[in-house]
Amino acid sequence: MPFQDLSDRLAAVRETIERARQRGGRGQEVRIVAVTKTYGPDAPMAAWQAGLRDVGENRVQEAVTKMAAVRADLRWHLIGHLQRNKVKQLDGFRLVHSMDSPRLADALAAYGDARGRPVDVLMQVNVSGEGSKGGYGPSSVEAEGERLHRLPGLIVRGVMTMAPFDAPAATLRSVFAGARRCAEQLSAAGHPATELSMGMSGDYEIAVEEGATLVRLGTVLFGARPA
């Protein structure tokens, strides 16, 4: 049976999350988004059987193929970069984590208007300032938050960020705290920005301490990705 140790891995991850949540003292609920990119349809099915309900994919087409193959009532999250020409394929996703530019925001809002149902999104914020990462700069969040009120085809549910790979704990903490402040700005501007998507397999403990409500976990649950 594939992923036969998933239940044990998940139990250990949940314990780790709870300890981090207690240390952080923020009282937030934390949900695990099981990242099933590059694994086959058996990964989201295994996640469902282990009790997980949220799964994340990086690419729209890969996700759509899996959605058709998996007979389980999962909440699908798009966590990777989204090209504007793929916006019309978003119907199966519960939440788009990667709204990373005003142009994409406009395209998502237009799609939400056209289908008669707003698109639930997170604003991707590049707190670390790395050139290899997309997203809004923190200094632009306040103004963009005001602009997004004019786009009824969107509902801004919060913020997503990615920390530098293998960064020291102090850097991780600074990045995650910066994302939390961006979400607070959006909330103060009147958006229902309660979600903080941050933390992956290597850094999710610190992310939870800093307020993460969604942690995106792949290898810590499923093991090494297929070559």
Residue 72 is given by DSSP the state: S
The helix/strand/coil state of 183 is helix
Instruction: Give the model confidence (pLDDT) of 138-147 as tens digits.
Output: 999 999 999 9
Q: Which two tokens stand for residue 134?
A: 């997309």
65/148 Cα distance (integer angstroms): 31
CATH class given for the domain over 6-221: alpha beta
pTM for the full predicted model? 0.95
Instruction: Give the model confidence (pLDDT) of 44-99 as tens digits.
Output: 999 999 999 999 999 999 999 999 999 899 999 999 999 999 999 999 999 999 99
Judge whether residue 107 has pLDDT over 70: yes
Q: How confident is the model at residue 227 (pLDDT cuts 50, 70, 90)?
A: low
Mean pLDDT taken over the chain: 95
Q: 114-134 burial, b for 16+ CB within 10 Å, e for fewer? A: eeeebbbbbbbbbbbeeeebb
Mean pLDDT of 101-107: 98
Q: Any idea where the domains of the chain sit in the sequence?
A: 6-221
- Please report the pLDDT score of residue 131 as a whole number: 82
Judge whether residue 130 has pLDDT over 90: no
Residue 221 is given by DSSP the state: H
- Please report the pLDDT score of residue 94 as a whole number: 98
Q: Are 33 and 54 in contact (CB under 8 A)?
A: yes
Mean pLDDT of 120-149: 94
Instruction: Give the model confidence (pLDDT) of 135-190 as tens digits.
Output: 999 999 999 999 999 999 999 999 999 999 889 999 999 999 999 999 999 999 99
